[in-house]
C-alpha cells in the first residue's frame, strides 16, 4: 500500500482510493454487526447465569 501511494502519480492511484473508501465503509459496517452480535451473545449468557444463580438450590 505504501508503495502504491509513494511511487505512483496521483492520477493513476486515484481509482484505488475510491475503491478503498468503499471497502472501508463495508468493513466498518461488518465490524459493527460482528461486535453487536458478540455483545448480545455475552449479555444473553450473563442473564442466563444470573437466572441460574438466583434460583434456590434444592
Task: Report residue 56's pLDDT band, with 50, 70 and 90 as the boundaries.
Answer: low
Q: Is residue 6 situated within a structural domain?
A: yes
User: Based on the structure, what is the number of domains in the chain?
Assistant: 1
Q: Is residue 18 situated within a structural domain?
A: yes
Please tell me the number of Cα atoms within 13 Å of 44 on its side-chain side. 6
The per-residue pLDDT for range 15-42, each reduced to its tens digit, is 888 888 999 999 999 999 999 999 998 8
Q: Is residue 4 situated within a structural domain?
A: yes
pTM equals 0.59
Domain limits for position 18: 1-33
With contact defined as beta carbons under 8 Å apart, do 4 and 16 qualify?
yes
Q: Is residue 46 situated within a structural domain?
A: no
Amino acid at each position: 500500500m505504501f508503495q502504491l501511494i509513494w511511487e505512483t502519480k496521483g492520477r493513476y492511484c486515484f481509482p484505488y482510493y475510491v475503491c478503498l473508501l468503499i471497502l472501508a465503509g463495508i468493513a466498518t459496517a461488518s465490524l459493527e454487526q460482528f461486535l453487536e452480535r458478540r455483545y448480545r451473545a455475552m449479555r444473553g449468557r450473563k442473564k442466563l447465569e444470573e437466572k441460574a444463580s438466583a434460583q434456590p438450590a434444592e
